[in-house]
């Protein structure tokens, strides 16, 4: 069973802004370009019947275009939302005190960064969604965020929704408007 993990197009935010759960729009022309590119890639894989999206504007823009072009029903899924960075949402990352980041990285699984959500909570909700997808056993497209895509990579690599150290978190980030595919049948 294949998952297409699609990251939204570049959001319309200031460079360096912490915007995990903020509901911001993406650049519309880049969203359309990403959709065209994905449609071309999907034309060789007609088995996709499930299209899920994070409920944030920047993902729904791309997902709505995909749904129309692929003639698929679109389902909003809160578990596909980006990590909640609590009080740091809407601030520049450069303005977040190093001590706050240190607290997070020292207890990466359990510390709720900015009082929002812990990495362990993110992993758990993505783990549950992956289990649901396996039970459904149909190729799916998830239009989502970098953090969720990294969580899926981590869960596939480790097989468990617990991270011992920040050093274990995947470094590679899927570019805006790009995707990866993963097999989750095993």
- pLDDT tens, residue by residue, 66-84: 999 999 999 999 999 999 9
Q: What is the pLDDT of residue 47?
A: 80
C-alpha torsion sign, points 124, 65, 170, 134: positive
Task: Round the average pLDDT of the chain to a whole number and report it.
Answer: 96
**8 Å CB contact between 63 and 51:** yes
Q: What are the backbone dihedrals phi and psi of residue 100, each rounded to the nearest 5 degrees, phi first? A: -70, -40
Residue whose token pair is 């977040």: 96
- For the chain, the structural domain boundaries read 2-183
What is the tens place of the pLDDT at every residue in 87-136?
Answer: 999 999 999 999 999 999 999 999 999 999 999 999 999 999 999 999 99
Half-sphere exposure (CA, 13 Å, Cβ side) for 113?
28
**8 Å CB contact between 122 and 83:** yes
Top-tier CATH class for 2-183: alpha beta
**8 Å CB contact between 89 and 116:** yes
pTM over 0.85: yes
């Amino acid at each position: 069973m294949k998952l297409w993990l699609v990251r939204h197009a570049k959001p319309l935010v200031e460079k360096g802004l912490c915007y995990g759960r903020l509901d911001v729009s993406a650049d519309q022309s880049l969203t359309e370009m990403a959709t065209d590119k994905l449609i071309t890639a999907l034309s060789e894989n007609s088995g996709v019947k499930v299209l899920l999206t994070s409920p944030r504007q920047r993902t729904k823009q791309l997902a709505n275009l995909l749904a129309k072009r692929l003639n698929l029903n679109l389902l909003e899924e809160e578990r596909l939302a980006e990590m909640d960075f609590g009080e740091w949402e809407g601030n520049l990352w450069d303005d977040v005190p190093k001590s706050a980041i240190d607290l997070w990285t020292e207890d990466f699984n359990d510390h709720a960064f900015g009082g929002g959500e812990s990495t362990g909570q993110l992993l758990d909700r993505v783990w549950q969604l992956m289990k649901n997808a396996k039970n459904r056993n149909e190729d799916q497209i998830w239009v989502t965020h970098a953090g969720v895509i990294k969580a899926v990579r981590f869960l596939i690599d480790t097989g468990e929704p617990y991270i011992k150290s920040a050093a274990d978190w995947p470094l590679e980030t899927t570019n805006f408007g790009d995707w990866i595919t993963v097999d989750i049948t095993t």
